Chain A
């Protein structure tokens, strides 16, 4: 029973264009959402997060949007760069000291 779903295993985007990575969740108790970026044979690195009291959070080229009614969040990368090519994981947690629940990841390829 997947509580966090990333339905697109892979995505290819041209350099300079927008990358949109999507994530859906089923647990209405989730109130904090994160995106991680992972290169092969390395640990994931934290990218950006959003609390359920917001619907948008920006950090440079990265913006995360949250639609609570649809239980959907998305990560926008503008403009996309070849160095953005990696696997992106969506994660969620609920109130309190609960571990993060991760999606299966989306592999982004930015083509020069």
Chain B
């Protein structure tokens, strides 16, 4: 049963703490993405990766870091430098497209600050 798995579903961060959100896909997709959703803001791109060991900053990369050591995995670390981390985080993946770029999303992780 192919899909994208995000864990945990809920996560709490203390002041000054780094936390890591997991994203795993078994769709054999080359590209993976991280988005942040805030109320009324839509989906904003944090980072994306089109190939293993390579990734690009999105519109709101400050305070976040990623790695892409395996094709299936694209973890996102929310660092202490991210001053407003409370949001719903969504991971997505897609094939490297020729003409179409349909992204498939995980169920999301809700991060809150204690």
Chain A interface helix/strand/loop/mixed: loop
Chain B interface helix/strand/loop/mixed: strand
Q: Chain A contacts of B105 at CB under 8 A? A: 36, 43-45
From the candidates B33, B44, B108, name the one contacting A41 in the complex (CB within 8 A): B108
In the bound complex, how far is the Cα of B101 from the Cα of A43, in angstroms?
Answer: 17
In the bound complex, how far is the Cα of B33 from the Cα of A93, in angstroms?
Answer: 14
In the bound complex, how far is the Cα of B97 from the Cα of A85, in angstroms?
Answer: 31
In the bound complex, how far is the Cα of B107 from the Cα of A98, in angstroms?
Answer: 23
How many residue pairs, one in A and one in B, have C-beta atoms under 8 Å apart?
60
Interface presence of B20 (CB below 8 A): no
Interface presence of B8 (CB below 8 A): no
Indicate whether A99 sits within 8 Å of B45 (C-beta atoms), given known contacts A34-B102, A49-B100. yes
Minimum Cβ distance to chain B for residue A90 (Å): 9
Interface size of A in residues (CB-CB distance below 8 Å) = 25
Minimum Cβ distance to chain B for residue A87 (Å): 9
Interface presence of B65 (CB below 8 A): no
Chain A 26-59, CB within 8 Å of chain B: the 1/0 string?
Answer: 0000001010100001111110010100000000
Interface presence of B111 (CB below 8 A): no
CB contacts under 8 Å to A, within B14-59, are: 31, 33, 35, 40-45, 48, 50, 58
Whether A104 pairs with B41 at a CB distance below 8 angstroms is yes
Whether A43 pairs with B90 at a CB distance below 8 angstroms is yes
Which of B92, B101, B104: most chain A CB closer than 10 A?
A: B101
In the bound complex, how far is the Cα of B108 from the Cα of A36, in angstroms?
Answer: 15
Minimum Cβ distance to chain B for residue A52 (Å): 10
Whether A105 pairs with B42 at a CB distance below 8 angstroms is yes
Whether B99 pairs with A51 at a CB distance below 8 angstroms is yes
Interface residues of chain B, those whose CB is within 8 Å of chain A, are 4, 6, 31, 33, 35, 40-45, 48, 50, 58, 88, 90, 92, 96-97, 99-108, 110
